[in-house]
Chains A and B, each alone.
Chain A
Amino acid sequence: MRERWMDHRSRSLAVLLVVLIVAMVPAGAVQSQDKKPIVIAVPVGLSGVNSVVAPAVVQSGELAVEEINAKGGVLGRKLQLVPLDDESGPAGAVKAFNTAIRQHKADTIITMETSAARNAGAPIAERAKTLFIYTSFYEGRACGKTLFVNAWVPEQVVPPLIKFMTDDKKVKKWFAVGSDYAFGRGMIEAAKSTIKGVGGTILGEEYQPLQQSDWTAIISKIRAANPDGIIYSTSGGGPNIDFMKQFKAAGLKMPVGSLSIDELTAEAGGNAAEGVYYTGDYFTGLDNPENKKFLDAMKKKFAAGLKTPNSLSEPEYDGVYAYAMAVEKAGTTDAEKLVQVLPTIVFKGPRGQVQMNKQHHAPLPVYLAQVQADGKTKVLKSFGLVDPGNQCPKLK
């Protein structure tokens, strides 16, 4: 005789399952289109090299979502932010993007990532026809049908800095210093072509291995070359301070332009980076009503837990707003429609006016800043909107 096809326990389990499914059907029906939240996934480096900046990115997104939901959401639906860990690298990004799209049914991905993570994640988003707004400055020329970028590329921050130092600081003879990796070398290349374009000369060009923190040999070469000014691009964070500490201690006094320092690093370095000039699209010291409102709201929402907003985290706020405005205007979350609508959206945020209308990139307000004696950054002037140039000629 055949055994019973199901024993008692599995039969009651099966009954329970059927009951559950039946119970969920009406719930699902009630939660249909109009009530289901719009899911914004944020795969970001909560662990790994980006873990210093990632919490600030998530906070920017949380504030934007809270503000939009307080006004009733978008198309009558609430926004929901889902932060995921991309482990700051490509393997983690693949996992995070798949989790976002398959498990969380993300309507869009809006995030700041390393270039390696973005390159791994973007094709996944494109295959799933999911809109992906990338909010990190990067080396440029990342293109995709559903990929948009609302942060700077080298063409936007390098030429203004070089031109300022040439015109106002009378730097004609330059010395270029970089960390030996793709982004550092790419930024120095961009700087060199601008320098040649404005008629300057490059006396020397030196690259330091990433793990090496003693800059002695390079500093001696700078001294021997005796340039009018320095342009440098190390890897982010500490190496900026390593270089500037040793540069200052060696008694060198020529003007320095940095393509890699940021507000937090400059402040953590105390007086080490005093006097350094740099350009960017966001500084906490930007004097405009949108930035004041943004900073006040951030302080109120996160209080003691606030991670200082910075140029890598603030564009997340702009990105969420631009997405929400695009959905409102298109009347749908369908990515194919949004790709058409998003370039028409103008969001005036803490950085100023941002519109992703140049081959999926955005002309951005660019500012000149200088590190002060206490490590704080002072915004000196605005260059107005700077065009990203031809990033993706195949896209509109």
Chain B
Amino acid sequence: MFTTQLLDVVTTAGVLYIVALGLLIVYGVLKIINLAHGAFLAAGAYAGVVTTELGWNPWTAPLLAFVIGVAVAALVEWRVLRGLYARPLDTILATWGLNIIVVQLITLYFGREIHFAESAIGRAINVGGATYSEYRLVLLLLAVVLGVAVWLVMQRTQIGIVARAVIMNEELAQALGINTGLVRFVTFGLGAGLAALAGALLTPLISVHPNLGVPWLINAFMLVLVAGVSLANLALAALVLGGAQVLVSSYGNPVLGSLTIVILAVVILRFRTITI
């Protein structure tokens, strides 16, 4: 029982981390909350439906999802968002509008009914005496890999250094000759690509339908609000909030559990003194 609960906590944190990562990156660099995050999750999940129908290996779904996410995001950043950076409130409207458009396009093509996406792994394995879903463990591993990869990009590459400069002081970065427009373009594409990738990774756990992103968007939003722009904070927030949710659901009930993330986020924001 204890082993199972521990695994529940860490794997739930892993799933939340994967889902929130794209939102955090966009928020960090662009200072906007991408409310189309849920739509990108859905689009990624449908990449799994497409690869299943084409008979491809299930592991190609996350890659296809990433490509689709980046492509859609590139188009949107170029034609819509670029003109709105000076008006941050309007970007909320624009990304929410984008969310509606993407979800409706998916509905028009695939319909509102649920779809099937092949899972790469569907079995359970034995971990420390407990039988546990292998796929959830793989997701935990992927969360760590993605986290480390994004961290390395931010710390060790030219792009990352430039991005961090923009995060810290955009005007100064611009004055130093950094092409902040390009940084925004790349970051939005990467964030949306990661969202779609997360959507594809969720399909072995959940059914695929156009609005699947909504509950995940809300949780991801709470995590990012608490974490600010730090990758380590995001991991910590996923562990604390996701863990609390699992424990409250286990010892209390899932109805209370589903409130935990929101309530804890509010409490943490109230008492957190460090600002971003």
Contact = CB atoms under 8 A, between A and B. Distances in A.
B45 to A, nearest CB: 11
Interface string B187-209: 00000000000000000111101
Given A268-B115, A269-B114, A223 B254 contact: no
Interface in A41-67: 51-52
A52 B112 CA distance: 6
B155 interface: no
Interface string A62-95: 0000000000000000000000000000000000
Contacts of A37: none
A26 interface: no
Interface string A259-278: 00000110011111000000
A251 B254 contact: no
A202 B177 CA distance: 69
B205 A208 contact: no
Nearest to A47: B112
Nearest to B248: A217
A180 B255 contact: yes
Contacts of B133: 246, 249-251
Interface stretch (A96-104, A190-198, A235-243): A235-243
Interface in A198-239: 206-209, 211-214, 216-218, 220-221, 223-224, 237-239
B53 to A, nearest CB: 12
Nearest to B111: A52
A129 interface: no
A245 B215 contact: no
A375 interface: yes
B249 A217 contact: yes
A248 interface: yes
Contacts of B115: 268
B8 A237 contact: no
B179 interface: no
B135 interface: yes
A237 B246 contact: no
A218 B121 CA distance: 21
Given A209-B255, A224-B4, A249 B124 contact: yes
Main secondary structure of the interface of A (DSSP, over half): helix
Contacts of B88: none
Contacts of B204: 245, 249
Interface in B100-138: 111-116, 118-119, 121-125, 131-136
Interface bracket on B: 35 or more
Given A52-B111, A212-B258, A245 B205 contact: yes
B117 to A, nearest CB: 8
A250 B209 contact: no
Nearest to A237: B114
A249 B114 contact: no
A215 B5 CA distance: 13
A211 B112 contact: no
Given A238-B207, A375-B116, A217 B246 contact: yes
B249 A218 contact: yes
Interface in B199-249: 204-207, 209, 212, 214-216, 245-246, 249
B253 interface: yes
A82 B217 CA distance: 40
Nearest to B135: A249
Nearest to A242: B206
B181 to A, nearest CB: 37
Contact of A218 (B134, B135, B254): B254
B215 A224 contact: no
Contacts of B111: 52
A179 to B, nearest CB: 10
Interface in B1-53: 1, 4-5, 8, 11-12, 15
A221 B253 CA distance: 10
A237 B249 contact: no
Contacts of A265: 114
B62 interface: no
A241 B206 CA distance: 7
Contact of A249 (B116, B136, B214, B250): B136
B249 A51 contact: no
Interface of B: 1, 4-5, 8, 11-12, 15, 111-116, 118-119, 121-125, 131-136, 204-207, 209, 212, 214-216, 245-246, 249-250, 253-255, 257-258
14 contacts: A206-B253, A207-B253, A207-B254, A209-B255, A212-B254, A217-B245, A246-B133, A246-B205, A249-B124, A249-B133, A269-B114, A269-B116, A271-B122, A375-B116
